[in-house]
Amino acid sequence: MPLAQLENILNLFRGTELDEEGKRQLVREALLMALSRATNADTNISGVEIATVQRIIKERTGDEVSEKDIRVAAISDLYKEATLERYLAKVRGKIGTEDCKMIVGALATVIKIDGKVSPFEVEFFNSVANSLGVSHADCAGLIE
């Protein structure tokens, strides 16, 4: 099943219990959702952001993700059902703190990659960090 189908996140909202492999997939899907939405946070999806998302997902999960899958995840109909923040808050209860920090750290990389950070991107970053329960000190790298 393609990563972009976000099946484990949907199952989480249906009340399905996840085994260890399901939780691993959930982290991958949450990473894809957060990073993909970041490419659209300032309404200007740049090629360098797409390439960065692809690189990060490959490095962190071993998965290849197409530009099409990233663009689809960025504007998915899934967000009509609930906000990204709601999905991530639900995911937070099922994945580890280190996974949450990894997602937020990867998000910062994507947001900064084009050399400029818009107020929309800052707002998006803060909402994702809050949804995943990652503190300001965690974001600043003050807590190990």
**Maximum Cα interatomic distance, the chain, rounded to a whole number of Å:** 41
Return the SS3 of 115.
Answer: coil
Q: pTM of the prediction?
A: 0.83
Q: What is the DSSP string of 98-115?
A: HHHHHHHHHHHHHHHTTS
Do 14 and 26 touch, CB atoms closer than 8 A?
no
pLDDT of the chain, 144 residues: tens digit per residue: 355 456 666 666 666 777 888 888 889 989 998 999 888 876 666 788 899 999 999 999 998 999 988 888 887 666 666 688 888 998 898 898 999 999 999 999 999 998 889 899 999 999 999 999 999 888 877 766
